[in-house]
Amino acid sequence: MTTKIKPRKNCTLCNKIVDPTNFGNDFTCRTCRHECHRCEPLYRELVALHQKSQREQAAALKVLKDEIVELKTTLSTRQQKASTTLKGLKDTMSTLSCEINYLKQVKTKVEGDDRLSKIEKDLEEVKSDVKSLDQEVAGVYAERREDAISDKTAVNESMQETLNGLEDFTRRLKDAFVALTGPEEKKVKKEKEQREQEARRLKEGMLEMQDFMRQMQQAFSMLPVIQPQQQAPTSEQAKVKTEQNGSSKANTGGRSVVTNGIKKS
């Protein structure tokens, strides 16, 4: 809201005559209004800081209030525990006082009686008897322990002798079994070695045959390829063809024989 400043009026800030051609709020002159505009960002920052500090103070106050409430609750619980403990202590003290009074009454009744001294003498005798019995029991226990140790040593010796006899018997039995089965084992071992040698020979022959066939294939692959002519074969060509078929059949038959020999071994 702006108002036209009347002439002959003074500025409310610097008390100078206000220019009648300028407009402003609260009768401020041009200079004061310029200073106010210059200080306005700082003022806004101060206001923001003030609001931030107020919020932080409010949060801190809330935390303090929560802590105070928690302390009050803990104090109330501690007071309740203390009151219950104090009540229990009072009850215990009352029961102890009753027991003390009863013991005092019993003591006053027993002080003038001779039965207490008699009971004490009997207790001393019982203690001496118990001590002597303990000594006797300790002696008997020691004797039995020595007897048990001697019996244990005798049993151990007899068991050791039995074990030694069993070991000797098993050793002699093993020697006899080895003496009986020695020739048979040698024979079986020799047959096994012979079979292994035969299998090795067959395997070597098979490898040689495979090498020969591979060489033959390489030799055939190196020969030039001749395109056959569409004509009837002559008698010489038919003869060569039959010879080739017979040789191939013989080779395949030898291979089957070798493989059958390997399978049988």
Q: Contact, 5 vs 20, CB < 8 A?
A: yes
Mean pLDDT rounded to a whole number for the chain? 72
Q: How many CB atoms lie within 10 A of CB 262?
A: 14
Decide if pLDDT at 263 tops 60. Answer: no
Tell me the three state secondary structure of residue 215: helix
Q: Which pLDDT score, from 0 to 100, does residue 199 have?
A: 92
Decide if pLDDT at 225 tops 80. Answer: no
pLDDT in tens, 148-199: 887 778 777 878 888 888 888 888 877 776 666 667 777 888 888 999 999 9
In this structure, of 37-51, 85-99, 195-209, the range with the lowest mean pLDDT score is 37-51
> Among residues of the chain, what percentage have pLDDT more than 70?
61
Residue with tokens 């066939």: 213
Decide if pLDDT at 124 tops 70. Answer: yes
As a whole number, mean pLDDT of residues 101-110 equals 72
127 or 62, which is more confident: 62
Report CA-CA distances (Å) from 1 to 4, 5, 25: 10, 13, 7
Q: How confident is residue 135, by pLDDT bands cut at 50, 70 and 90?
A: confident
Sequence-ordered list of residues with C-beta below 8 angstroms from that of 262, at least 6 positions apart, any chain: 199, 202, 203, 206
CA separation for the pair 35, 203 (Å, rounded): 116
Q: List the chain domain ranges.
A: 3-110
Decide if pLDDT at 66 tops 70. Answer: yes
As a whole number, mean pLDDT of residues 29-43 equals 58
Tell me the three state secondary structure of residue 24: strand
Q: How confident is residue 120, by pLDDT bands cut at 50, 70 and 90?
A: confident
Q: Contact, 29 vs 19, CB < 8 A?
A: yes
Exposed, middle or buried: residue 209 (CB in 10 Å: 0-12, 13-18, 19+)? middle
Q: What are phi and psi of 134, to 5 degrees?
A: -60, -40
CA separation for the pair 201, 183 (Å, rounded): 27
Q: Encoding tokens for residue 228?
A: 């056959």
> Among residues of the chain, what percentage have pLDDT more than 90?
3
Q: Which pLDDT score, from 0 to 100, does residue 233 have?
A: 53
**Cross-strand partners of 102:** none
Q: How confident is residue 228, by pLDDT bands cut at 50, 70 and 90?
A: low
CA separation for the pair 260, 265 (Å, rounded): 9
Q: Which pLDDT score, from 0 to 100, does residue 236 have?
A: 63
Decide if pLDDT at 256 tops 60. Answer: no
Q: Which pLDDT score, from 0 to 100, does residue 136 have?
A: 81
Decide if pLDDT at 94 tops 50. Answer: yes
Q: Which pLDDT score, from 0 to 100, does residue 91 have?
A: 84
Decide if pLDDT at 4 tops 50. Answer: no
Decide if pLDDT at 26 tops 60. Answer: no
CA separation for the pair 92, 98 (Å, rounded): 10
Q: How confident is residue 258, by pLDDT bands cut at 50, 70 and 90?
A: very low
Q: Encoding tokens for residue 200?
A: 């090795």
